[in-house]
Amino acid sequence: MVGHRDAEAAAALRTLHPHGRPTPTVGLVAELGRRGLMAGLTTAADLRLAVADSPLLATGVVRVEGDGPWSERSVVAGPAVWEALVGLGGWPGDLSADPLPSPDWGLDEWLDLPGVLTARRAIEARRAYALGAFGDRPGAAAARLAALVRVSGNEPVILRAPQLSSRDVQLAMVIAAVRDLIPVFCETGDSSSPLELSVPYVTLPLLVARGSSALTAYPRALIPVPVAALSHHDRVAGLRSAAPDLRLEDARSSASAEPRDLALAATDLRGRLALGRDQTDVSRHRTFSDAVERHLSGTAPQGAVLVHPRATWDDLVLADDRLGLLRDAVRRVELQGALHARPDQPAPRRGERGLRMLFHGPPGTGKTLCAEVLARALGRDLLVVNLAFLVSKWIGETEKNLENVFDAAERASVLFFDEADALFGRRTEIGDARDRYANIETAYLLGRIESYDGVVVLSTNLRRNLDSAFARRLEFIVPFDLPDAAARERLWRLHAPTWARLSPDVRLEDLAALYDLTGALIRNAATAAGYLAAGDHAADEPGDPDTPRKLPTITDEHLARAIEREHDKAGMAYPGAPPLLHTVGNGHGRRLGGLAHA
Q: Residue 206 pairs with which residues in a beta bridge? A: 130
The secondary structure of 564-595 as a DSSP string is HHHHHHHT-----S-HHHHTSSTTPPPEETTE
The whole-number pLDDT of residue 581 equals: 56
Confidence of residue 198 (pLDDT cuts 50, 70, 90): confident
Triad 390, 412, 393: Cα angle to 5°: 10
Task: List C-alpha distances in Å: 353 to 347, 416, 451, 475.
Answer: 10, 17, 8, 11
**What b/e string do you get for 446-466 counting C-beta neighbours within 10 Å, with b at 16 or more?**
beebbebebbbbbbbbebeeb
What is the Cα–Cα distance from 386 to 412, expressed in whole angstroms? 18
Mean pLDDT of the chain: 83
| Mean pLDDT, residues 353-361 | 90
* Predicted confidence (pLDDT) at residue 513 exceeds the cutoff of 80: yes
What is the Cα–Cα distance from 214 to 196, expressed in whole angstroms? 8
How do 215-216 and 381-385 pair as beta strands? Answer: unpaired
The whole-number pLDDT of residue 597 equals: 36
| Mean pLDDT, residues 207-220 | 93
Q: Residue 196 pairs with which residues in a beta bridge? A: 216
Taking the whole predicted model, whether its pTM rises above 0.85 is answered as: no
pLDDT tens for residues 296-348?
A: 887 888 888 888 898 999 999 999 999 999 999 999 998 887 776 666 666 66
Instruction: Judge contact between 357 and 364, C-beta under 8 A.
Output: no
What is the Cα–Cα distance from 123 to 203, expressed in whole angstroms? 11
Q: Which of 249, 235, 233 is nearest to 281 (CA)?
A: 249
The whole-number pLDDT of residue 85 equals: 72
Confidence of residue 432 (pLDDT cuts 50, 70, 90): very low
- Burial class of 518 by CB neighbour count within 10 A (0 to 12, 13 to 18, 19+): buried
Instruction: Judge contact between 206 and 220, C-beta under 8 A.
Output: yes
Q: Which of 463, 487, 467, 491 is nearest to 477 (CA)?
A: 463
| Mean pLDDT, residues 147-167 | 95
Count CA atoms within 13 Å of residue 247 on its CB side. 6
Within 10 A of 15 (CB to CB), how many other CB atoms are there? Answer: 9
| Mean pLDDT, residues 278-290 | 81
